[in-house]
């Protein structure tokens, strides 16, 4: 069940059964010459949608699709939030849903660059409650952050499908997931060099100078619709198990 395709009556009825919600969270940033800019938002969104299709009794919220991507800003199309803006937005999303009775928030992440900021947002939410003191009536609140590629058996599947040159950014696995979601967007691009360099970076100019086409260590020309379908299936099953465990805790 998707929040955007629900009525308020549906949500009221859902809250009688569950206080938990999945919130996909990603980024709008370049993913090399054959990867879509929305990759990090599309991946958790389609995996969560697949899970919701299998179990209509879980609720998936809208995708938080712009994250922390300052280091990709030297490539056209990339958008970013400052960490402080993102923290404020995560807090407002959470508190909006809390007002209705949601107590368990499963932020399903698609971008490594978001991890620290999501953790900081959680710390802000907990700090508000702690600072309010013991006399303030507080409802239960549980926050979880999970990266889709770290769910059980997902990494193994990605490694089996792409044993070499998965790399660190614009990976064949994440590009494959987007191709499976949008087969009409598959790009046939010659990558030069075929395998991108590895290394570290600082700001956006530094990143583009070190990684001229945007990829880090990867060969996403391996990405196929078939591989993407298998990754989505594996990840959706793992998400269902992990979310049910979280919702029932």
Total chain residues near Ni ion (CB under 5 A): 3
Comparing CB distances to Ni ion, the nearer of 174 and 219 is: 174
Binding test (CB under 5 A) with Ni ion, winner from 14, 34, 37, 40: 40
Structure tokens at 220: 């996403």
Q: What is the 8-class DSSP label of residue 88?
A: H
Residue 39 CB, nearest approach to Ni ion (Å):
5
- Distance between CA 27 and CA 32 in Å, rounded? 14
Comparing CB distances to Ni ion, the nearer of 43 and 51 is: 43
Q: What is the 8-class DSSP label of residue 37?
A: T
C-alpha torsion sign, points 65, 99, 47, 116: positive
Cis peptide before 193 (omega within 30 of 0): yes
Q: Count how many residues are written for the chain.
A: 249
Comparing CB distances to Ni ion, the nearer of 101 and 212 is: 212
Contacts of Ni ion in 129-188 (CB under 5 A): 174
Residue 149 CB, nearest approach to Ni ion (Å):
9
Comparing CB distances to Ni ion, the nearer of 83 and 214 is: 214
Would you call 44 exposed, middle or buried from its count of C-beta atoms within 10 A (0-12, 13-18, 19+)?
buried
Residue 104 CB, nearest approach to Ni ion (Å):
26
- Region of 33-41, 101-109, 119-127, 217-225 interacting with Ni ion (CB under 5 A): 33-41
Contact residues for 79 (Cβ-Cβ < 8 A; gap 6+): 28, 29, 66, 69
Residue 174 CB, nearest approach to Ni ion (Å):
5
Give the residue nearest to Ni ion (CB): 40
Q: In the complex, which residues of this chain contact Ni ion (CB under 5 A)?
A: 39-40, 174
């Amino acid at each position: 069940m998707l929040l955007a395709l629900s009525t308020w009556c549906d949500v009221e009825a859902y809250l009688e059964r569950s206080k938990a919600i999945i919130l996909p969270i990603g980024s709008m940033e370049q993913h090399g010459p054959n990867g879509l800019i929305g990759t990090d938002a599309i991946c958790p969104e389609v995996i969560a949608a697949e899970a919701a299709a299998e179990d209509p009794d879980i609720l998936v919220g809208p995708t938080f699709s712009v994250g922390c991507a300052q280091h990709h800003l030297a490539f056209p199309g990339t958008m970013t939030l400052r960490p402080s803006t993102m923290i404020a937005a995560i807090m407002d999303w959470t508190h909006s849903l809390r007002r209705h009775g949601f107590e368990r928030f499963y932020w399903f992440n698609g971008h490594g660059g978001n991890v620290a900021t999501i953790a900081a947002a959680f710390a802000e939410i907990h700090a508000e409650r702690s600072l309010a003191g013991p006399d303030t009536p507080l409802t239960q609140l549980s926050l979880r952050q999970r990266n889709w590629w770290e769910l059980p058996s997902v990494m193994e599947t990605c490694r089996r499908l792409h044993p070499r040159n998965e790399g660190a950014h614009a990976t064949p696995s994440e590009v494959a997931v987007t191709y499976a979601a949008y087969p009409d967007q598959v790009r046939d691009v010659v990558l030069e060099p075929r395998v991108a360099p590895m290394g570290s970076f600082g700001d956006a100019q530094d990143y583009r100078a070190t990684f001229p086409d945007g990829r880090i260590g990867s060969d996403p020309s391996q990405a196929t619709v078939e591989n993407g379908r298998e990754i989505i299936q594996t990840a959706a099953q793992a998400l269902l198990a992990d979310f049910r465990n979280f919702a029932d805790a």
